[in-house]
Amino acid sequence: MGKIKTIEYFRVLPRWLFVKITDEHDNYGWGEATLEGHSQAVEGCLDAMIQRFVGYEADNIEYLWQTAHRHSFYRGGPVLMSALAGIDIALWDLLSRRLGLPLHVLLGGAVRNKIKVYSWIGGDRPRDVEAAARERYAQGFRAIKMNATEDVDWLDSPKALETSVERCRIVKAVGLDVGLDFHGRLHKPMAKRLAKALEPHHPLFIEEPLLSEHSEGIKQLSQLTTIPIALGERLYSRWDVKRFLHDTSIDMLQPDISHCGGISEIRRIASMAEAYDVALAPHCPLGPIALAACMQVAMCTPNFTIQEMGLTIHYNTEAGAYDIKNYIKDQSVWDVKEGYVEGLKGVGLGIEVDEEEVRNVARTANAWAPKGFVGPDGSIREW
């Protein structure tokens, strides 16, 4: 046992926010509180949590989690839950490091020895997908995800969707399974039309076919298509998730470990999903600490199915040299072979953070700004 001595956070390129917790015996753990486009808000929340939780017992992870959640009164949402996630992940890392065990052992032990993964191609306005798909195949991936469309109007010409179907066909021909991220960009008229057009091409799943706030629309869409429906990155707790499980409107749940309160909450969400025969596929186009945390959860979660990896995702390449192989000492942990990454075997999260690189980059890293689309008439469109 040891009391929390310090909680530090580090804004690093391309768009990540890392958290380090040290206890009074100099045991430490790393977490990730990334909330893309909203780093300053999470940093402010972390400042308040630092004042509150320094001096708490580092091993009492659930007690701290419940205090942060229930004593906040205004609870949940992306900012509070992302800040809490960074602290929660770091505390689990600290505890398992202190005990000299991989984190998943503390969560019940392994139910698999390797993790199925997919990565991204195509960018925000998908293009050059055949060359990118061949490159991913050569890297060892057997599944990818890409944005299904560019920006689309509330009711647009059917021609706006033709290239979506063609891109799916092209990538499938390379030998890859394809997840198509609607990204909440489409409104119900166009989402229904695109799901029907894609069905003969058998995508692996469609993601966020509508924004999560349209639970009634997602339920309707689920009754119109046989394509598995996935969502969850914009759901921040088990209470946000339960309406979709009750509606039986989704097939794959994608909570983000850095947005939904960390390891403690994603484990509860996974168990809820299993009871409804829904698979877990955590959202993670983020940094190496969040990915390692997801991998630890995947190792011990029966209904886990596939893990997103942000390896050379367009958000990273746009920022220059920084990717998930930065900030860690052994880059080989992310090697992909025939669609899988080997289960992480080291203590804690299973990675060793390069603290010197983190501190150096954090000195000058600017916050990543949210993106957006504007229609030809000047109207604001979903991104």
Q: Which residues are catalytic?
A: 183, 283
- Burial status of residue 239 (CB atoms within 10 A of its CB: 0-12, 13-18, 19 or more): exposed
Torsion angle in degrees (nearest 10) through CA of 10, 11, 14, 20: 20
**SS3 of 373, please?**
strand
Q: What are phi and psi of 178, to 5 degrees?
A: -130, 120
Cα–Cα distance for residue pair 3/22, rounded to 1 Å:
9
Among 342, 323, 320, smallest CA distance to 332 is for: 342
Between vectors from CA 17 to CA 14 and to CA 18, what angle results, nearest 5°?
Answer: 120
Cα–Cα distance for residue pair 348/350, rounded to 1 Å:
5
The answer to whether 282 and 305 have CB atoms below 8 angstroms apart is no
Between vectors from CA 172 to CA 142 and to CA 318, what angle results, nearest 5°?
Answer: 70
Among 307, 375, 345, smallest CA distance to 153 is for: 375
Q: Look up residue 274 and give its two tokens.
A: 């299993």
Q: Look up residue 61 and give its two tokens.
A: 């992870």
